[in-house]
Amino acid sequence: MNDSIAIQVDGLGKRYQRGSKRTNHTSIRDAIVEGARSLFKPRAPDEGTFWALKDARFDVRHGENVGVIGLNGAGKSTLLKMLSRITHPTVGHARLNGRVGALLEVGTGFHGELTGRENMFLYGAILGMSRQEILKKFDAIVDFSGIEAFIDTPVKRYSSGMYVRLAFSVAAHLDPEILLLDEVLAVGDFAFQKRCMDFAKSLQQRDATIMFVSHNMFSIKTMCERVIYLKQGRVVFDGATDKGIELYEQDCRLSTVSWLNQKADEMSVNVSDCELTDLANRPKKLFEYGERMRLRIALTARKPNKKVNLIVALKRSDGVSVCNYYSETDDFAIRDLEGTRVIELDTPPLKLVAELYSIEVYVRDAATQELLCGQVGASFHVTHTLFDTHFGVFHEQAEWRNARSATEPALTQLAV
């Protein structure tokens, strides 16, 4: 293995059993009979199995920050679990050259009954840190996590965000040469996410290698100059971040929102199409600040719905929800939804700062509030030469005037 290569993946694959094998035999005799039948029953080689990851091949050099992206079930977490030796591959192999730190799931390696302090030593030991090393870095780890007041509280009382803070802090202070991160920053607040990204950049300056799985394209753009895009268990793109994100956005269109554990065809209502245009009905994905946008949303219902409410949510690329348009609050009734119906929405002038935004579409039953649909509709960019994320989420013009002169009574006196 070349000394400049930190991670080398060659034909890596993982095959899992689909579902569970039936073993409800009432006697040893039944088990023997079933086993004998299986000897004579023809069976396809892959029957009852699926490949979570197949024939992955790539190299990562020391000092690279590589994002791993893809839709749910693409094989991202499986890849990182094999790289961290949690899961053994079915075929192929991976070689890692350097000290590895991994943070793959919230609370991995933590014991709920132990305190944060005790879990620091437990988790640190799992990662390969000595007790002396943890003692030396104890104050720095606690300070970075920001949960000093709860360090002697059992972690079973921690929120998921507190779990992530402490676990990331321990993993980061391992001083890893290779750091594997799987969607962990999605739980922490924005300030902690920024601190983690800054820390990751400092590791990169020390020639550390980072592989980062995330659905947050803002974090991917911020941290990674290269992405590996997985689709249905295969590497379909390995290259520049902007191009990889573009491919990801194309495939995200009309997909189920990431937190919803359902496929689009399992929901009773689907967004079968979502078009973005200007008010003259010209297709568009790049809008000027202050421009209005028209959404044409095709809803397809598998069964009749007496009345539904439609929510259109705009989200910035870092996952921040910037605004919602809600049919019920806008007094727009969607009744007797059956088959396919097209709904049009004209937004107010877009006062969002220059960034990439996604559109999520939700349909709820008006009577029960049951979620009938949750899909990513489309994505768009807002452009402006000045107003970017340094201005926050949106920008609107304020009214300015000179204050009262010094000879006039003070404002507090005027209020009396």
Q: Which residue has the higher pLDDT, 72 or 350?
A: 350
The whole-number pLDDT of residue 253 equals: 80
User: What are the pLDDT digits (tens) for 178-215?
Assistant: 988 887 655 556 667 677 777 777 777 788 899 988 87
Q: Which residues contact 345 (CB under 8 A, 6 or more apart)?
A: 294, 295, 297, 312, 325
The whole-number pLDDT of residue 106 equals: 55
User: What are the pLDDT digits (tens) for 9-67?
Assistant: 999 999 998 764 544 544 555 556 566 565 555 555 556 788 999 999 999 999 899 99
The whole-number pLDDT of residue 31 equals: 57
Q: Which residue has the higher pLDDT, 334 or 411?
A: 334
The whole-number pLDDT of residue 107 equals: 57
Distance (Å, rounded) from C-alpha 82 to C-alpha 12?
Answer: 9
Percent of the chain with pLDDT over 90: 44
Strands 91-96 vs 5-17: parallel, antiparallel or unpaired: antiparallel
When pLDDT is cut at 50, 70 and 90, the band that residue 329 belongs to is: very high
The whole-number pLDDT of residue 32 equals: 60
The whole-number pLDDT of residue 183 equals: 72
The whole-number pLDDT of residue 153 equals: 94
The whole-number pLDDT of residue 18 equals: 72
Q: Which residues contact 107 (CB under 8 A, 6 or more apart)?
A: 155, 160, 163, 167
Mean pLDDT of 292-319: 91
> What Å distances lie between residue 241 and 51, 53, 88, 221, 256, CA to CA?
26, 21, 29, 7, 23
> Average pLDDT, whole number, for the chain?
84
Q: Which residue has the higher pLDDT, 306 or 3?
A: 306
pLDDT at 131 over 80: yes
The whole-number pLDDT of residue 85 equals: 85
- Of the candidate ranges 71-75, 188-192, 263-267, 301-305, the one whose mean pLDDT is the lowest: 188-192
User: What are the pLDDT digits (tens) for 227-276?
Assistant: 999 998 999 999 999 899 888 888 878 888 877 777 777 788 989 899 99
Q: Which domains does the chain have, with CATH numbers?
A: 5-252 (3.40.50.300), 264-391 (2.70.50.60)
The whole-number pLDDT of residue 36 equals: 57
The whole-number pLDDT of residue 154 equals: 93
Scanning 128-285, the segments in alpha helix (DSSP H) are 131-145, 160-172, 190-205, 217-223, 241-252
pLDDT at 413 over 70: no
Give the long-range contacts of residues 199-208, CB within 8 A, separation 24 or more.
199/144, 199/172, 200/65, 203/172, 203/176, 203/179, 204/63, 204/65, 207/62, 207/63, 207/177, 208/62, 208/63, 208/176, 208/177, 208/178, 208/179
pTM of the model: 0.65
Helix (H) or strand (E) holding 274: strand 269-277
pLDDT at 216 over 80: no
For the chain, how many residues are written?
416
Helix axes 160-172, 116-127, angle to 10 degrees: 50
CA distance between the termini of the chain? 80
Scanning 23-92, the segments in alpha helix (DSSP H) are 28-40, 76-83
Q: Which residue has the higher pLDDT, 399 or 164?
A: 399
CB 88 within 8 A of CB 166: no
Distance (Å, rounded) from C-alpha 98 to C-alpha 7?
Answer: 9
Q: Which residue has the higher pLDDT, 294 or 206?
A: 294
CB 61 within 8 A of CB 5: yes
Mean pLDDT of 368-379: 90
Q: Which residue has the higher pLDDT, 157 or 102?
A: 157
CB 261 within 8 A of CB 82: no
The whole-number pLDDT of residue 203 equals: 78
Residue 356 neighbours by CB distance under 10 Å: 18
Pick from 9, 6, 102, 11: which is nearest to 61 by CA?
Answer: 6
The whole-number pLDDT of residue 46 equals: 55
